[in-house]
Structure 1
Amino acid sequence: MYAVLVALYVLLFPYHPGLRSPNELCRLWQTRALVEYGTLDINRALQDFGYVGDLSVKDGRYYPSKAPLLSFAAVPVYAVLRWWGGGFLYAVPEVPLVFFSRLFLTVLPTLFMLWLVRRFLRAYLSPAVADAVTVTYGLGSLAFSYSLLFMSHQTTAVLLFGGFYALWRLARGEWRERGYLVVGACAGATVAAEYTGALGVLGLVLYAVLTVLWREEPMRARWVRLGRGAALATLGALPFVVGLMLYHQAAFGHPLESGYKHLNDAAYQPWHLGGFLGIRYPDPRAFVLSFFSPLRGLFTLSPFLLLALPGVVVMRREARTSGEMRAHLWLVVALLAGYTYFTSSFSYDSWGWTTGPRHLTGLVPFLLLPVGLLLERLRTGGRLALLGASAALCTASLVFTGAATFVNYIPDDVSNAFLGLAVPLLKDGYLPPSLPQFMGLGNPAAGVLLGLSLLGLAGWVFVRLVWLETRVPGPVPLVAGLAMLAVLLSVQVATVKHHDADRGAVRFLKQQWLVPPGRTVEFWPSPSGS
């Protein structure tokens, strides 16, 4: 089961060079500039390797508008590929650069995170529920989509959960105090990867304070412990924070001034002006579309996350007798409130060609415990109909998000990401590019194999949740699950328009597809500049 999940992560490669993916390439062009020219600006990289978007400009020098961590982290990957390719300027083609940068910096860290997620959930849930929730998160949420893109959103989720995991082990007395260095490093790296990751860091600070102050020891000892922990965490964060400030100083002339103050495209400036990085007062339209839009709503693509809302009620009941669960509850509520305010206050139109509301990626792993607690309560309480319906939400999440991730570049004017874009492309043979294709296994065999693997895991999640170890559950969960799937599919059918924008998006992506039906492509073509 986990082997299939790993295979999907490692083998899938949704990438189409013709789209000139700005969020990814602006970072990798800075990586090229650091290695090839020893510069932070990417002026020469733009000349040598082609223009990309998502840029900032200061005094005639161009930089990525993004936080710089991934650009710097990709330097050793690029350096090794450059050496392997012959050591000259054009030694590394774009496709292998994107593939290996994703593999080492977004895919493998997420797979390690999934191992941590499962270990964490197993402390509170049965193996069946912990396994099912872990797989659903891995393939039915934004984690899947953004692990397969060289963007910072899943990197932020990995770092935030890593910091949380360290705090959790510290609170349980399973790690020594120097574990706060790990917490600080994760927090500092989070901000260096994505500026708005600071929101999640504030949640970790709250959790850290609560887990120390609610310890059963004299108050003076608690404050001493909190002070030492804060000092160690600050020490761990310092290299990343200082490095980020030095980068800002060198690129934009001030340690606290980011690239968003100097965007090259004037049309994007209004999205980032006012408030904090563009976060202003809540807008009902942004709230509704971020969570319920058929194009990229969080709950539309990952309906299993709806279970987190009643799951918070279950957490609250358990928190009455457990200080540990009380700290989890406060963390979940704080992050849910903070991220909801953020997505409701930031311009919805700025999400770009993405799968789901990308800036909510850091929130999702912290909703898994309430989801799991609710599922556990339904299993042990014998509420088989509700259990079947809830399991179907998990299954549907794998199907909806998985299909969208097979495309992973979702135009803004599509009516419905699943039925309006992903399904038409897949039906016409535009299956996701993948490593087996580069190794000689053509379509449809390679794409169908990956698609069947995803559907197989979706079915496995349902069975794992509804199959009770103590007795045969009977037909009730299956009937309830099928009914829930029918409702979810009816919503999908009702919201897809198949209008000109849908058809235009499908036609456009077909023209840009890396490996169209009946075609092959070289993974590492001979460079034109050799």
Structure 2
Amino acid sequence: MNASPAPRGVYAALVALYVLLFPYHPGLRSPNELCRLWQTRALVEYGTLDINRALQDFGYVGDLSVKDGRYYPSKAPLLSFAAVPLYAVMRVAAGGFLHAVREVPLVFFSRLLLTVLPTLLLLRLVRRFLGEYVSPQVADAVTVTYGLGSLAFSYSLLFMSHQTTAVLLFGGFYALWRVARGEWREWGYAVAGACAGATVAAEYTGALGVLGLVLYATLSVVWREEPARARWSRMGRGVGLALLGALPFLVGLMLYHQAAFGHPLESGYKHLNDAAYQPWHLGGFLGIRYPDPRAFALSFFSPLRGLFTLSPFLLLALPGLFLLGREARGRGEWRMHTWLVVALLAGYTYFTSSFSYDSWGWTTGPRHLTGLVPFLLLPVARVLERLRQLERPIWTGVAAALCTASIVITGLATFVNYVPDDVSNVFLGLAMPLLRAGYLPPNVLNLLGLSNPLAGVLLLAPLLGVSGWVFARLVRSEGKRPGASPLVAGGVTLALLLGVQLATVRHDAADRGAVGFLEKVWLVPPGRSLSFWPAP
């Protein structure tokens, strides 16, 4: 199916939320973000990989590795290096001295250019991809729900590598998909290889997703209707081009490891500075051991960080996978999609079930599953499409309500985006109490002199409006008004989801303490605006 022009107002609201929101609080000393940016500072200011001098000049941060007395971020280095040109330009524009670039604008523009804008480009690819398999109504609704109702929203607004991994993995898949359909020449394999190499350089666990891309690329050649000799020749060229694309990133990563940790295959996780974190990465492969039922259950269903609790629309991917498998009979393209989703879902499920759940720490949702989410969208979309085709209004209303709830729950959680470990429920136990107290997220409107909570309410309104639009988009057939059945079914579903939230929130001392702590460090509390630069 071909895509139709998207509803401009809805996508404009989505872009505005991505660009204007800035959930950041310097008092938290966000370690995952600042350790990367401190290395960016070190590269520009001192020309060093280690951040010893940056720690002295700009303050201590966490998430560090230490080797021979030299400190480095414990993370893969791609984002640190990607921010170097930005930092250099900002330094010159701000006067060119050591402390010219303040922390708040550095974090804001690093997010905007290196995590927000790539995700907005990803959403265009997602919409283009879904539009080939489902109606424009469903493709729009699923794309918007992914953009505002999943981990994509949360981690685009943080300078972390999780959404970067999702962007790179789907970008690599998109290149392979276009090549397999004959829409791109074979140089698309080089694009996919570059995305795969950059994925590993951005986040080591992204290698799980790369394995899925390798499987998809292999199947796209093996199941191709041409002589065996031609298939082997094509595979050889594809491997060569993919390696050519990946090589600069992999060689650069190994050179970085050699310079920082003394061996090309030795990462910072073997030299963690904080002894309390070391057990999480010992044993197995980078801490991946045998599955643990507790880690599995909490990663998917915890009221604090469960993937399906925050984004219940992703539950539709489970029946959608069976639907894809049934539709794949005799159709190579559909079979490739099915096997890719099965492989990625199995791999990421094993990972999140085998790694320490307690290591997710102060984040929105199970962050290492962020790279999986865009690959679940086609099964979700196929379920929604089939329900509309079969004219099942009750189940269509249920599915539409899951999408709406995802945008509301994940959207409000993202307004906070720093989630203490001891909160009972991120939606009712943390986000809603802060919202009621006027603690809305810092945003660009604050820079224009508009104080919170008014500035935050002006961003809350489009979030809620888009969530309602998604529901209406899905339950309405072309040229017809929705009947009572999908509206009632959707209302009942939303009530049940709210009931689950109410049943799991405690409002105990831990919840109140987390809310109180965040209020103390909130960058733009009620009645305040924001300034990037201090007055002379």
Category of TM-score, reference length = shorter chain: over 0.9
- Aligned residue number for residue 162 of structure 1: 171
- Aligned residue number for residue 366 of structure 1: 375
- Aligned residue number for residue 206 of structure 1: 215
- Aligned residue number for residue 110 of structure 1: 119
- Aligned residue number for residue 287 of structure 1: 296
Tell me which of 171, 175, 179 is aligned to 2:184.
175
Q: Classify 1:441/1:12 alpha carbon distance in 2 versus 1 (closer, same or farther; 3 Å).
A: same
Q: Secondary structure at the match of 2:276?
A: helix
Question: Displacement, 1:213?
Answer: 0.7
Question: Displacement, 1:440?
Answer: 1.0
Question: Displacement, 1:470?
Answer: 5.3
Query: Distance in 1 between the 2:428 and 2:103 partners?
Result: 31
Query: Distance in 2 between the 1:332 and 1:482 partners?
Result: 31
Tell me which of 93, 96, 116 is aligned to 1:87.
96
Root mean square deviation, CA, Å? 0.7
Structure 2 residue 508 is the aligned partner of structure 1 residue 502:
no
Q: TM-score, normalised by structure 2?
A: 0.98
- Aligned residue number for residue 489 of structure 2: 480
Q: TM-score, normalised by structure 1?
A: 0.99
Q: Secondary structure at the match of 2:450?
A: coil
For structure 1, the residue ranges without an aligned partner over 5 or more in a row are none
Q: Secondary structure at the match of 2:386?
A: helix
Instruction: Map 1:67-82 to 2 at 5 A.
Output: 67-82=76-91
Query: Distance in 2 between the 1:502 and 1:348 partners?
Result: 20
Instruction: Map 1:318-397 to 2 at 5 A.
Output: 318-397=327-406
Query: Does the Cα contact within 8 Å between 1:153 and 1:359 map onto a contact in 2?
Result: yes
Question: Displacement, 1:321?
Answer: 3.0
Query: Does the Cα contact within 8 Å between 1:93 and 1:525 map onto a contact in 2?
Result: no
Q: Secondary structure at the match of 2:57?
A: helix
For structure 2, the residue ranges without an aligned partner over 5 or more in a row are 1-9
Structure 2 residue 201 is the aligned partner of structure 1 residue 192:
yes
Query: Does the Cα contact within 8 Å between 1:160 and 1:362 map onto a contact in 2?
Result: yes
Tell me which of 436, 439, 454 is aligned to 1:445.
454
Structure 2 residue 48 is the aligned partner of structure 1 residue 63:
no
Query: Does the Cα contact within 8 Å between 1:152 and 1:194 map onto a contact in 2?
Result: yes
- Aligned residue number for residue 428 of structure 2: 419
Where do 4+ consecutive residues of structure 1 move more than 4 Å?
Answer: none
Query: Distance in 1 between the 2:530 and 2:18 partners?
Result: 20
User: What per-residue deviation string (whole Å, max 9, x for no partner) do you get for residues 68-87 of structure 1?
Assistant: 00000000010111011001
Tell me which of 141, 149, 153 is aligned to 2:158.
149
- Aligned residue number for residue 4 of structure 1: 13
Question: Displacement, 1:518?
Answer: 1.0
Q: Secondary structure at the match of 1:86?
A: coil
Q: Secondary structure at the match of 1:63?
A: strand
- Aligned residue number for residue 533 of structure 2: 524
Moved more, 413-422 or 437-446: 437-446
Query: Does the Cα contact within 8 Å between 2:37 and 2:83 map onto a contact in 1?
Result: yes
Which residue type is aligned with residue 54 of structure 1? D
- Aligned residue number for residue 220 of structure 1: 229
- Aligned residue number for residue 465 of structure 2: 456
Question: Displacement, 1:272?
Answer: 0.3
Query: Distance in 2 between the 1:144 and 1:308 partners?
Result: 19
Query: Distance in 2 between the 1:77 and 1:475 partners?
Result: 53
Question: Displacement, 1:230?
Answer: 0.5
Query: Distance in 2 between the 1:246 and 1:525 partners?
Result: 40
Query: Does the Cα contact within 8 Å between 1:95 and 1:524 map onto a contact in 2?
Result: no
Query: Distance in 2 between the 1:55 and 1:389 partners?
Result: 45
Question: Displacement, 1:276?
Answer: 1.0
Matched-pair identity in %: 81
Q: Secondary structure at the match of 2:66?
A: strand
Q: Secondary structure at the match of 1:267?
A: coil
